[in-house]
Amino acid sequence: MIIGIGVDLVDIARFEEALRRTPALGARLFAESERGGRPESLAASFAAKEAVAKALGGPPGLSWTDVEVIRDAAGCPRLEIRDTVADAASQRGIRRWHVSLSHDAGMSIAMVVAEG
């Protein structure tokens, strides 16, 4: 059963500029393994984190680094959640996550489905 759906769209250039302007932002938003990627990949990962928050209904207290976008050898993304996000997901009966990422024309998008 689908419990929540989230989608987010990020302007890559604007996001890249925010990361450049505020060096500490990368550490606040991304797990260690996510840092250092190409701007469009970072923007897509951030969009996925926003989409997860939306799928959860936007509860307060979520930590950005408690959602990690992992890519397999073929580049297919999956979500790894822990701590604040895992607690919120458990409270809502979410057991499985689906994620799709894309980027084109200067924008990155993420679609997340939370399944119970």
* Residue 100: pLDDT over 90: yes
Gap between the Cα atoms of 49 and 105, Å rounded: 21
Of 34, 90, 93, 109, the residue nearest 64 (C-alpha): 34
Q: Residue 13: how many CB atoms within 10 A of its CB?
A: 12
Would you state the pLDDT for residue 85?
98
Using alpha carbons, select from 69, 74, 32 the residue that is nearest to residue 48: 69
Strand residue runs (E) in the chain: 2-11, 67-71, 77-81, 96-104, 107-115
Q: Judge whether residue 75 has pLDDT over 90.
A: no
For the chain, what is the domain count? 1
- Domain CATH number, residue 92: 3.90.470.20
**Predicted pLDDT at 108:** 98
Residue range 20-35: average pLDDT? 94
Mean residue pLDDT across the chain: 96
pLDDT at 41: 95
Q: Is the pLDDT at 30 greater than 90, yes or no?
A: yes
- Residue 69 belongs to what domain range? 2-115
For residues 116 and 11, the answer to whether their CB atoms sit within 8 Å is: no
Average pLDDT of the segment spanning 24-38: 93
3-state secondary structure of 26: helix
Residue type, 80: E
- Total-model pTM: 0.95
pLDDT at 6: 98
* pLDDT at residue 36 tops 90: no
